[in-house]
Amino acid sequence: MAFDQACLQVRGDRVALAAVANAQGWASAERRSPPERGWQVGYWTETRALVRLTGYPATADGLTPAQVICAVDRIEARPGWEQKVSALTVDGAPLGEPSQPDLSTYQIRPDMELKVWDLADGSRIHASYIPTRSYLELSINYPTGR
């Protein structure tokens, strides 16, 4: 699974992601505008999923720390996708069951489902799923401003 290779194994490291992309034969993707004072790299996988690694600076008000977000979107979701994600391993242990997030802190579309896995290091995996389109996006944030 591209999310495991691109996000969980490289932990937000641009050089390591480039090595994975090269080994897998992923094509470089045109970059959208990176966030102000931030950076972004992207790759197309063999299944046409888009891997993005984006670095964000801390907000001026200090409410949001600097972070790196790794996302894989345009994933065709097949039945059992949630179990597949729950079985992914981090530090040798499977993610397990997702938690139900406080949806009042998220702005999501009415036709979207959101699942969240909180990791021991403070990172958080988000799975955004749109059942009517069989579309899945997986992302993980790595706070870097500690």
The predicted-structure confidence for 51-109, as pLDDT tens digits, reads as follows: 999 998 888 888 888 889 999 998 888 888 889 999 998 888 899 999 888 777 778 88
Q: What is the pTM of this model?
A: 0.85
12-65 pLDDT, tens digit per residue, is: 899 999 999 999 999 999 766 777 788 999 999 998 999 999 998 888 888 888
Assign 28 to helix, strand or coil.
strand
Q: What is the residue whose two structure tokens read 């997030």?
A: 101
Q: What are phi and psi of 72, to 5 degrees?
A: -125, 115
Strands 93-94 vs 113-118: parallel, antiparallel or unpaired: unpaired
